[in-house]
Amino acid sequence: MTDSGVLIILSGPSGSGKDTVLNKLTENRDDIKISISMTTRQKRNDEIDGLNYYFVSREYFEKKIADNNMLEYAEYANNLYGTPKAPVDEMLRNGKAVILKIEVQGAEKIRKIYPEVISIFLMPPSVRVLEERLRGRNSEDEETLNHRLVIAREEIRRAPEYDYIVINDTVENAVAGIETIINAERQKTFRNKKIISEVINNV
């Protein structure tokens, strides 16, 4: 966290709608930026390299780790996912609300580095709906899909660890919930606390 920016973690199981919600959230909000994660998994047909993720080889990813250029990283479903550090710090310095779309494992590491980080868990309305969304992708075989469902259940059990839980029953409701959280948390940033302190001291 910096004096002007706000750092936000957004986690949720695969199929909870994170990408759809974030795309809608940032449509008309220049003050909200999404950190682009890096991954070693294969790109899906509807994804764009450099927009949805940076799709890289495991060798390249491991080199970034060795050079201490990753803010956090975790292995999920036999693939590496992580957050490059430099772009996040720059956006925070520029006063943006920066959202890290990361897995539960990565969220733990971020909390240690940035104790003031705000964490949001995007929850599906039910496990049944989650499974329907995953099957609707038609992008994975049955074994991979079942593996994702096992991991999803484990992640959902850890939702209470987060500051906020937003249920994605509709995209509009989820976006409204996250916007409310961001707007409220902006009033609690170090910058505002500093301004308030200065005003009080001059009364």
What confidence tens digit (pLDDT) does each residue in 160-169 have? 999 999 999 9
Q: How many CB atoms lie within 10 A of CB 86?
A: 9
Q: Could you read off the pLDDT of 100-150 as tens digits, one per residue?
A: 998 888 888 888 888 889 999 999 999 888 888 888 777 777 888 888 889
Tokens of 34: 């999404």
CA 162/CA 110 separation, integer angstroms = 12
Confidence check: pLDDT of 195 > 60: no
Residue 134: partners with Cβ closer than 8 Å, 6 or more residues away? 14, 15, 140, 145, 148, 149
SS3 183: helix
Q: Indicate the residue type of 126.
A: S
Cβ burial of 184 (10 Å; 0-12, 13-18, 19+) is exposed
Q: What is the DSSP letter of 9?
A: E
What does the pLDDT read at residue 116? 87
Determine if the pTM surpasses 0.85.
no
Q: What is the mean pLDDT of residues 42-70?
A: 92
The three-point CA angle 99-104-110 to 5° equals: 55
Q: Which residue has the higher pLDDT, 81 or 140?
A: 81
SS3 138: coil
Element (H, E) at 17: none
Q: What is the DSSP letter of 159?
A: G
What does the pLDDT read at residue 188? 73
What does the pLDDT read at residue 52? 85
Q: Could you read off the pLDDT of 165-189 as tens digits, one per residue?
A: 999 999 999 999 999 999 888 877 5
Confidence check: pLDDT of 155 > 80: yes
Extended strands (E) in 85-189: 97-101, 118-123, 164-167
* Residue 4 binned pLDDT confidence (cut-offs 50, 70, 90): low
What does the pLDDT read at residue 138? 72
Confidence check: pLDDT of 3 > 70: no
Q: What is the mean pLDDT of residues 189-193?
A: 55
